[in-house]
C-alpha cells in the first residue's frame, strides 16, 4: 500500500510554513514574528521514488520537514486542543526549483508545486503516541547527514500545534489535509544522481526513511505561455543556503560572470538603476580612488571606529585590536569598508595593513576617513578609496571598536555582504539580493547610450533620440535584438 492510501482521507490541500526553525531563521537573517504560509498542489504529493529536475534548471533544493496529517475536521480550534485534530506525523521533503522562485513572488506555485515535489512517508506515526515537542527530523544526501533538529521549544520558533490552531481560524482543515512545518538549517541544492533520505522519529517510533533520487527531466518550457527559468544571485544564495546573516557572517564571493559584468559597468549607471528602484542613499560620500582609473568590485566586510577617548583607546586600541583582526580575517573578493565618521583628522590604515589585505586577496578598502603612509599604500597596488592623506596615527581621533556589523560610511548604510563598486566617480553600495537585475539593467542602458551617442555624432538632434521615442525607439529595439 502506498503512503497516499494510508492517509485518513484524500488530501484536499497541502499547506507549508515558510520559516519555523531558529536555525533556519538565523541562516536567513530573518526571524518571523508570526507564522506565514504558502500552498502546494495536491498533485505534487508522492511517496519514495524519483524527482525530476527539468532540463535548463540548476537550483533544485531539498527541505526535510515534519508533516502533520489532519485527522478530524478543524475550524477555529484552540491552541490547547489543536494537537487532538492531528491524526499522524510523517517525513516530508518540501522540494523546490529556485529557478522559478523569483517569478512566483512568494506564492511558490511553479517552484514548489511541480508533480512529485512533495514526497511524504513512508510510514505514519500515530500523533497520540508522541508529544508534539519531542520529534526529531533528519535528512541525508548520498548517505551524509546534512540536517538534524528537533521540534522542541528551543528549536522551533512556533510549536507544531500553533500551525493547526492558526490555520483553522482562516479555513476548515479536513481529514487528510497536510501541513508541512518548515525545515531546519542545512537545506541546499541537489543534482541528478543525488539521493535524499528524510526521517522523522520520536518515542521509539519512526516514519522510516523517505527516499528520493534526483533525475534529469525534460525541459522544453514554452516561452509563449509563461516565464522561462531564471537564476539570479539572490535565488542562487537562497538555494544553496548562504543567505546573509547580519549578525556578522558574509555571503560567499561573487560569481565570476557577475563580477565581470560589474567591472564593466560604471558606478554612474549602477546608481541610476538603484535610483529607479527607489534607493537614493547608496553613495559613500566624499571618497575617491587613491589611483585614478581604479575599478573596485567586491563584497562588504565592515569595521567601525568610535570617537577617540584616551581611556577607551588604552583598553581597545593596543595589541591585537579589532582593526588588526578585521584585516587578518579578510577573505578573497571582500572589500573592507571602514566607518570613520567622515573624520579627516587621522589615518585609518597604513601600508602594513594594506599589504596584509592585498596578500589575502581582498578586493579593496573603503574608508570615509584618511590614509597614512599614503604613497607606500598606493605602491601596494590595492584599490583604496578614502578622503585622502593624513599623517596622524589612529589614536588621535579613533578607537577601533567592532566589526562585521551594519555600519555608516560616508552617509551610507553598509551591511556585511552588500556589493561594493568603486571607480573614478566614487563608491556605491548595492543590496545583494538585487545586484544582478541592477547590473543587467545598467549594462543595457549603457548600450543604449552608446547607440544614441553614435546617432548624435552622425548629426541627428537629441529631440526624440535621447531617450529614443517613435521611429528612433523602433530602430533602437532592432539594434538591441541584433546585438542580443
pLDDT interval class at 233 (50, 70, 90): low
Question: Is 243 known as a binding-site position?
Answer: no
| Least trusted range by pLDDT, from 65-79, 234-248, 316-330, 355-369 | 234-248
Higher-pLDDT residue of 253 and 371 is 371
Q: Which residues make Cβ contacts (< 8 Å) with residue 53, sequence separation at least 6? A: 60, 97, 191, 192, 214, 215, 216, 217
The answer to whether the annotation marks 353 as part of a ligand binding site is: yes
Specify the higher pLDDT residue, 329 or 10.
10
79 is in an annotated binding site: no
At 243 the pLDDT is: 42
* Geometric angle at alpha carbon 169, from 166 and 171, rounded to 5°: 110
As a whole number of angstroms, the distance between CA 414 and CA 189 comes to 29
Strand duo 60-61 + 49-54: pairing? unpaired
270 is in an annotated binding site: no
Q: Is the pTM above the cut of 0.85? A: no
At residue 282, does pLDDT exceed 60? yes
Q: Which of 73-82, 116-125, 231-240, 314-323 has the lowest mean pLDDT?
A: 231-240
pLDDT at 251 over 60: no
Q: Provide the percentage of residues in the chain whose pLDDT is more than 70.
A: 95
Give the pLDDT band (50/70/90) at residue 255.
Answer: confident
Beta-carbon neighbour count of residue 107 at 10 Å?
Answer: 13
Residue 194 banded pLDDT, cuts 50, 70, 90: very high
Of 343 and 452, the structure prediction assigns the larger pLDDT to 343
Q: In this predicted structure, what is the pLDDT of residue 343?
A: 95
The answer to whether 352 is annotated as binding is yes
* Choice among 37-51, 212-226, 417-431 with the minimum mean pLDDT: 212-226
Task: Kindly list the structural domains of the chain, giving each domain's residue range(s) and its CATH number in brackets, ordered by start.
Answer: 3-240 (3.90.850.10), 256-435 (3.50.30.40)
Is the model's pLDDT at 36 over the cut of 50?
A: yes
More confident residue, 481 or 172: 172
**Mean pLDDT, the chain, whole residue set:** 91
| Pick from 243, 269, 149: nearest CA to 199 | 149
Q: What is the pLDDT of residue 250?
A: 40
pLDDT over 90 (residue 158): yes
Task: List the grid coordinates of 452.
Answer: 544614441
Report the distance separating Cα 96 and Cα 98, nearest Å.
6
Checking if the pLDDT of 45 tops 70, the result is: yes
**Other Cβ atoms within 10 Å of 117 Cβ, number:** 24
Query: Which tens digits make up the pLDDT trace of 234-248?
Result: 677 778 775 433 333
Cα three-residue angle 117-122-123, rounded to 5 degrees: 135
Distance CA 295, CA 424 (A): 8
Is the per-residue pLDDT at 408 higher than 70?
yes
Pair 317, 394: CB distance under 8 Å: yes
Instruction: Average the pLDDT over 428-433 and give the result.
Output: 93
Q: Which of 31-40, 96-105, 218-227 has the highest mean pLDDT?
A: 31-40
pLDDT at 245: 38
Is residue 138 predicted with pLDDT exceeding 60? Answer: yes
Does the annotation place 369 within a ligand binding site? no
Q: Is the pLDDT of residue 6 over 80?
A: yes
Tell me the pLDDT tens digit for each residue of 439-480. Answer: 999 998 888 788 888 888 989 998 888 888 888 888 888 887
Amino acid at each position: 500500500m502506498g503512503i497516499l492510501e494510508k492517509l485518513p482521507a484524500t488530501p484536499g490541500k497541502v499547506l507549508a510554513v515558510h520559516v519555523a526553525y531558529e536555525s533556519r531563521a538565523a541562516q536567513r537573517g530573518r526571524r518571523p514574528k508570526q507564522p506565514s504560509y504558502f500552498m502546494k498542489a495536491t498533485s505534487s504529493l508522492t511517496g519514495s521514488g524519483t524527482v525530476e529536475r527539468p532540463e535548463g534548471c540548476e537550483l533544485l533544493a531539498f527541505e526535510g520537514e515534519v508533516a502533520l496529517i489532519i485527522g478530524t475536521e478543524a475550524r477555529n480550534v484552540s491552541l490547547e486542543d489543536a494537537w487532538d485534530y492531528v491524526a499522524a506525523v510523517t517525513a516530508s521533503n518540501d522540494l523546490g526549483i529556485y529557478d522559478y522562485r523569483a517569478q512566483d513572488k512568494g506564492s511558490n506555485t511553479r517552484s514548489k508545486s511541480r508533480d512529485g515535489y512533495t514526497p511524504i512517508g513512508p510510514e505514519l506515526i500515530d500523533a497520540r503516541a508522541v508529544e508534539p515537542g519531542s520529534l526529531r527530523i533528519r535528512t541525508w544526501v548520498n548517505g551524509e547527514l546534512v540536517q538534524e533538529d528537533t521540534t522542541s521549544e528551543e528549536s522551533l520558533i512556533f510549536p507544531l500545534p500553533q500551525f493547526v490552531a492558526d490555520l483553522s481560524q482562516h479555513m476548515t482543515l479536513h481529514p487528510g489535509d497536510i501541513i508541512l512545518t518548515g525545515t531546519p538549517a542545512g537545506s541546499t541544492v541537489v543534482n541528478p544522481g543525488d539521493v535524499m533520505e528524510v526521517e522523522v522519529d520520536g518515542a521509539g517510533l519512526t516514519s522510516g526513511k523517505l527516499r528520493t533520487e534526483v533525475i534529469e527531466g525534460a525541459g522544453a518550457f514554452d516561452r509563449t505561455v509563461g516565464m522561462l527559468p531564471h537564476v539570479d544571485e539572490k535565488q542562487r544564495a537562497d538555494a544553496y543556503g548562504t543567505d546573509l546573516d547580519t549578525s556578522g557572517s558574509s555571503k560567499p564571493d561573487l560569481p565570476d560572470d557577475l563580477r565581470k559584468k560589474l567591472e564593466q559597468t560604471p558606478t554612474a549607471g549602477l546608481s541610476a538603476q538603484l535610483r529607479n528602484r527607489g534607493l537614493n542613499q547608496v553613495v559613500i560620500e566624499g571618497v575617491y580612488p587613491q589611483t585614478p582609473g581604479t575599478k573596485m568590485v567586491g563584497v562588504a566586510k565592515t569595521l567601525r571606529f568610535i570617537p577617540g577617548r584616551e581611556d577607551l583607546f588604552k583598553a581597545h586600541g593596543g595589541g591585537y585590536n579589532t582593526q588588526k583582526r578585521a584585516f587578518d580575517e579578510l577573505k578573497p573578493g571582500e572589500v573592507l569598508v571602514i566607518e570613520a565618521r567622515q573624520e579627516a583628522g587621522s589615518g585609518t590604515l597604513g601600508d602594513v595593513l594594506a599589504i596584509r589585505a592585498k596578500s589575502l586577496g581582498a578586493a579593496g578598502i573603503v574608508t570615509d576617513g584618511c590614509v597614512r603612509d599614503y604613497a607606500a599604500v598606493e605602491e601596494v597596488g590595492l584599490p583604496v578609496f578614502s578622503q585622502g592623506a593624513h599623517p596622524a596615527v589612529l589614536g588621535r581621533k579613533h578607537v577601533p571598536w567592532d566589526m562585521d556589523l551594519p555600519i555608516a560610511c560616508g552617509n551610507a548604510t553598509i551591511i556585511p555582504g552588500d556589493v561594493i563598486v568603486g571607480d573614478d566617480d566614487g563608491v556605491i553600495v548595492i543590496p545583494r539580493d538585487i545586484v544582478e537585475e541592477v547590473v543587467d539593467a545598467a549594462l543595457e542602458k549603457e548600450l543604449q547610450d552608446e547607440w544614441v551617442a553614435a546617432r548624435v555624432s552622425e548629426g541627428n538632434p537629441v529631440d526624440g533620440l535621447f531617450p529614443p521615442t517613435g521611429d528612433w525607439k523602433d530602430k533602437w529595439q532592432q539594434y538591441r535584438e541584433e546585438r542580443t
